[in-house]
Amino acid sequence: MATFTTEYFTMTENDAVEYARTRLNYFTHNAELSCKEIGDGNLNYVFRVIDNKNDKSLIIKQAGPIARISDEFKLSPDRNRIESEILELQYKLAPGFVPKMYCYDPIMNCCAMEDLSDHEIMRTALMDNKKFPLFADHITTYMVNTLLLTSDVVMGHKEKKDLVKNFMNPELCEITEDLVYTEPFFDCPRNDVFPSSREYVQENIWNDQNLQLETAKLKFEFMTNAQSLLHGDLHTGSIFIKEDSTKVIDPEFAFYGPAGYDVGNVIANLTFALLNTKYTTSAPEERNDQMEYLQNTIIDIIDLFKEKFLTAWDEKASDRTAKYLGFKEHYLNSILRDTAAVTGLELCRRIIGLAHVKDITLIEGQEKRAAAEKECLTAGKRFILERETLKTGEDFIKVLKESIEKI
């Protein structure tokens, strides 16, 4: 029988049941436990353990030594510590918007947390044309609280530097530096390009030296700008949602970087949902209604983020120089610039690079999928190149409308 106390091994479903029974003070002694491995991501193993007798459950998430997406990626299990600690911190900064943590185990490289099975993954829900009217309000509150309140604007500078040190995450950052900022913009062997899109990618992305220059600038800004404590992978697959609740999960890519990285990821992934609706929903009224909802959500996220950010700045800024006239607007504009850039990077890398999104790959028909991919790339390139000029939700939607035909 496994003891879980001496050395790491990758757990099975039966191991997870035994771990919950013997290592976690959560279930009662008469619990009737069962387990299912439900992880569908690229990196980890996720076990849902259920007490069928007392109707209780929790999630055990274990970090393996290599990525599930590819054994080329050797990963530090320290990412599980980072995820556990950042969720505990974000639970304080943005209460109600992350799951509750129960424990972290450095030997088994796992953590136990609240089960969110009454929610659903947002990517899947949007592909079913569901709407969440509170999402823009929820996600902007989460992002303002987690990004501004972990910056030098609010925190004591020594305290913030301690967090920078604690959340050093070189292995996961290297994945982002490679898969987001580098590989999509040249003909890298590890890229995975849909054959019908390859000629367009070659001509419009790989042959554009000006675009390559701008992505190089962005890569080095990403690596050197320790602005805020990022989630680091804030897409619709990392959000559990229901009508009145939004929960952000999977912050294992967390580290200190440019705040706009998180905001841009949200916008890009709503754009994938927009294109999925366009190309998979046959009923015109339903299609137009869902696309209008998604466009309005993108506008609201940009504009609500700006509004809440400035309000929180006035209430929370502690650094004297942060209160100089005009500085908060300058600071916010830099975040909006990075938001636009990351929106573009994410739109490009999910089409060209190794890690795709179901919103696009499940579009049926070669011509439809290729059309959706070209529209992503057209918009993505513009977001990168025009990032200095995009300041409002309407600015972002204008780029999308001009890049996506008949929107």
Residue 387 near residue 381 (C-beta atoms within 8 A): no
The boundaries of every CATH 3.90.1200.10 domain in the chain are: 120-403
Whole-prediction pTM: 0.92
| Average pLDDT value for residue range 155-170 | 95
Q: What are the pLDDT digits (tens) for 174-194?
A: 999 999 999 999 999 999 999
The C-alpha atoms of residue 162 and residue 386 are separated, in whole angstroms, by: 35
Q: What are the pLDDT digits (tens) for 221-267?
A: 999 999 999 999 999 999 999 999 999 999 989 999 999 999 999 99
- Please give the structure tokens belonging to residue 325: 């006239």
| Average pLDDT value for residue range 266-287 | 98
Q: What are the pLDDT digits (tens) for 52-73?
A: 999 999 999 998 776 655 566 6
The boundaries of every CATH 3.30.200.20 domain in the chain are: 13-114
Q: Is 1 helix (H, G, I), strand (E, B) or coil?
A: coil
Under DSSP, the state recorded for 206 is I
pLDDT, mean over the chain:
95
Query: 13-114 has which CATH code?
Result: 3.30.200.20
Q: What is the secondary structure of 271-307 as a DSSP string?
A: HHHHHHHHHH--SHHHHHHHHHHHHHHHHHHHHHHHH
The C-alpha atoms of residue 271 and residue 277 are separated, in whole angstroms, by: 10
Say if residue 1's pLDDT is above 60: no
pLDDT at 65 (0 to 100): 72
- At residue 189's C-alpha, the angle toward residues 187 and 194, to 5°, is 75
No. of helices (H) and no. of strands (E), the chain: 14, 10
The C-alpha atoms of residue 131 and residue 138 are separated, in whole angstroms, by: 14
pLDDT at 9 (0 to 100): 92
Choose among 125, 201, 123: nearest CA to 361: 123
Q: Which CATH number fits domain 120-403: 3.30.230.80, 3.40.50.300, 1.10.10.60, 3.90.1200.10?
A: 3.90.1200.10
pLDDT at 405 (0 to 100): 82
62-71 long-range contacts (CB < 8 A, ≥24 apart) are 62/10, 62/11, 62/108, 62/109, 62/110, 63/109, 63/110, 63/252, 64/10, 64/109, 67/42, 67/43, 67/175, 68/39, 68/41, 68/42, 68/43, 68/44, 69/42, 69/43, 69/354, 69/355, 70/354
Say if residue 8's pLDDT is above 70: yes
pLDDT bin (cut points 50, 70, 90) of residue 331 is very high
